[in-house]
Amino acid sequence: MSGTLITGISELVTCDPSLGEGPLGIIRDAEILIQDGKIAAIGPVTTLGSAGFSDDFSRQEVGGRAVIPGFVDSHTHLLFAGDRAAEFTARLAGEPYTAGGIHTTVAATRAASDAELRAQAARLVTEAQAQGTTTLEIKTGYGLDVDSEARLARLAREVTPEVTFLGAHVIPAAYAGDPDAYVRLVCGPMLAACAPHCRWIDVFSEEGAFNVEQAREILRRGQEAGLGLRMHAAQLGPSAAVQLAVELGAASVDHCTFLTDADVAALADSDTVATLLPGAEFSTRQPYPNARRLLDAGVTVALATDCNPGTSYTTSMPFCLALAVRELGFTPAEALLAATVGGARALRRSDIGKLSPGKQADYAILDAPSWEYLFYRPGVPLVKGKTP
């Protein structure tokens, strides 16, 4: 029987309160036994050692470091070409963000070869992994015609099973005079071409993008095609799209920057996760969402990067965690849970997000004795991947 015993863990964050101390389920002086990419056993050295595991398997000594579950980045748009650095700089000089910048990236993405797109995605995925991300979702949405969207869905599927069809990202210039014709294209041939590569469908419902009725139609058609639902809503202002997402049983409604009390109550009474994307507020200079209001109401909250060239060009979950505790009202433990268990819930995955027997062995070693260093030492590359 093959397997690896990871040993010398000063502090193991399981994110499963039934396994250890507090809401993070912390086990001190711990070991993890991994077999076939899954966690076979977990516990204090005394427990696993006395079961005789240490002799039967190869050992990996992590030297008194902390181990956390890998981050689940449940919202990215990392398949694109080109950049929008000039737009970012103009915004920092006072220009507002509008959904229109997406067209710039669509033009660059359509012009890029498959090889260029693959290389760009691989670079960003490697960057994300180096910062502790072990699962990521990728959206289409920089194609906006049938062939280009299908190409992005196919290329994204090479990287992750969590692919989201976002043909409804923005209305292309060619359809400016007849947005409903574009909605018909999205719901018809584009959905048919993309659905085989996708698990999810998403709509950017916002002023300048898709209205709530268009969003309803697109999500309904996606659901009929067997896709799970996600929604970008309330990024730039309050929107009825939040409650639409809840009504339709979406796995997640993302951004949630401008919520009404009724939105918060609807989310709290549902299985829909509120995914907060503070990298977007950082980069667009919008107000940050109030996570405290959601957490206190009992809403399940996730944190994700929203990695995209327009509003959040970061792959760093630790950066988003730093913003979450400093600007959104999370405690450090709540932020870590939102970036792991919350992300898993947002992707309706029960095999990731926690370190417990039977789950995938998706973990990150920190070059630090305790998990709190993730917050205590902002901007420092503490994540060591799977080897110390």
Binding mask 58-77 for ligand NIG (x = CB under 6 A): -------------------x
Work out which of 20, 25, 69, 101 binds ligand NIG, going by CB under 6 A. 101
Span near Fe ion by CB under 5 A; candidates 104-112, 119-127, 300-308, 360-368: 300-308
Please provide the size of the chain in residues: 388
Report the partner that residue 167 touches, choosing among ligand NIG, Fe ion, none (CB closer than 5 to 8 A by kind): none
Binding region for ligand NIG (CB under 6 A) out of 107-115, 260-268, 304-312, 348-356: 304-312
Question: Rule CB under 5 A: is residue 306 a binding residue for Fe ion?
Answer: yes
Residue with smaller CB distance to Fe ion, 34 or 125: 125
The answer to the question of residue 109 lying near ligand NIG (CB under 6 A) is no
Pick the closer one to ligand NIG by CB: 255 or 345: 255
The one among 73, 281, 306, 334 contacting ligand NIG by CB under 6 A: 306
User: Any contact of residue 73 with Fe ion (CB under 5 A)?
Assistant: no
Kindly report the backbone phi and psi dihedral angles of residue 173, in degrees, each rounded to the nearest multiple of 5, phi listed first. Answer: -55, -40
Binding mask 225-264 for ligand NIG (x = CB under 6 A): -------x--x-----------------------------
Q: Which of 53, 200, 204, 330 binds ligand NIG (CB under 6 A)?
A: 204
Select 19 or 339, whichever has its Cβ closest to Fe ion: 339
CB of 34 or CB of 274, closer to Fe ion: 274
The residue within the footprint of ligand NIG, chosen from 308, 314, 316, 360 (CB under 6 A), is: 308
Quick one: what does residue 310 bind among ligand NIG, Fe ion, none, with the CB cut-off 5 to 8 Å set by partner type? Answer: ligand NIG
Given the structure tokens 């048919």, which residue do they identify? Answer: 192
Scanning 25-33, 64-72, 151-159, 298-306 for contacts with Fe ion by CB under 5 A, the matching segment is 298-306
Q: Report the nearest approach of Fe ion to the CB of residue 42 (Å).
A: 34
Residues that bind Fe ion (CB under 5 A): 306
